[in-house]
Structure 1
């Protein structure tokens, strides 16, 4: 079973690489604003998780990047996720606004949030 999960994960990553989405084109000022807004975000994820791939593809479509934190292999990030969000479930978007931290878990909710914030 472990081999099957590993193999399917690699297939997902390969397909994501081959069929990578195009990002939105912005003016330099608009892109700088989007980059500044993205600095308050962090995505806790597993590399080959299909729901995490879905969120990373949405990031690429919006031409935005933020800190990707590996909650599978990095014990510090895993502990942060459990302590802050309350459970080890990925993908999880950590949103910091005005000193408050919000944890968003569902991939569809995260994609909708990214489309709303960066469209």
Structure 2
């Protein structure tokens, strides 16, 4: 079994291949009333493109994992859209249902971006996502296939909750396990809002006590995460089915494997 820290290093290398996209986002997102829904799997480079933009726009959304061999949500996607193709995006605020990653990205900027326009760097992706695919391989292709031990097992009654951002390697390894266990979850984006947020919690570019941007999303999230030092550390996980509240990726993964993967 690959050691946890090696997995984290692989996830970090995977993030670097994408040029750091999926780390920064607006402090003042246009979060819709009804939850956005994304049917996807962690190891898909096309799904990754969408997740990066969701982080840039700092949007929270529901994730329904559809790993290869999955039995729960792949069939729902086929029922809703007519084919098992991923990502599949549903916005119940408008009734929109979309498949192609580029179409989803343009839709997100149009409806939830500040200007309504897609920035030039996001208008045209390579038809073959070679860089993102390389990132998937570097990450050990985690979050691609179902864990065969849990096939046909019922999902938790309530959606579990995960706080993080796309490029966070510690968050990535947790999302990979959630995908492989086919556990649906709410992903709360906690994007870096300004230069003072850059770096891990103990090694930020701005030394001293951490102060979230006044009125920004991070300021509101701090109290939810319950950190004594009023800091931001990801990933953070909550399971409303059991009352579990956990920091540290390794501890979260151990909990998921013990509770839902055994």
After TM superposition, the score normalised by the length of structure 2 is 0.34
- For 2:24, the equivalent position in structure 1 comes to 22
Q: Is the 8 A contact 1:12 1:48 kept in 2?
A: no
The 5 A counterparts of 1:1-119 are 14-16=13-15, 19=20, 20-26=22-28, 31=29, 34-35=30-31, 37=32, 39-72=34-67, 74-97=70-93, 101-119=95-113
Q: Which runs of 5+ in 1 are unaligned?
A: 1-10
**1:76, 1:54 → 2: CA distance?**
23
Which ranges of structure 2 fall in alignment gaps of 5 or more residues? 1-9, 114-262
Per-residue CA deviation, residues 60-112 of structure 1 (Å, 9 max, x unaligned), is: 000102001111264221121111111100011012246xx432001001011
Do the aligned partners of 1:52 and 1:90 also contact (CA within 8 Å) in 2? yes
Q: C-alpha displacement at 1:39, in angstroms? A: 2.9
Q: Deviations along 1:24-74, whole A, 9 cap, x unmatched?
A: 121xxxx4xx33x16342111011100100000000000102001111264
Flag as ranges the 4+ runs of structure 1 deviating above 6 A.
Answer: none
CA 13–91 in structure 1, closer or farther in 2 if over 3 Å, else same:
farther
Distance 2:12 2:87 in 1: 16
Q: Residues of 1 paired with 2:11 and 2:102: CA distance?
A: 18
SS at match of 1:53: helix
d(CA) in 2 for partners of 1:21 and 1:41? 20
1:38–1:66: 8 Å Cα contact kept in structure 2?
Answer: no
Contact 2:34 2:93 in 1 (8 A): no
> Conserved in 2, the CA contact under 8 Å of 1:45 and 1:69?
yes
- Paired with 1:59 and 1:48, the residues of 2 have a C-alpha distance of 16
Distance 2:48 2:102 in 1: 12
Asked if 1 retains the 8 angstrom alpha-carbon contact of 2:34 and 2:92, the reply is no
Distance in 1 (CA, whole Å) between partners of 2:34 and 2:76 is: 18
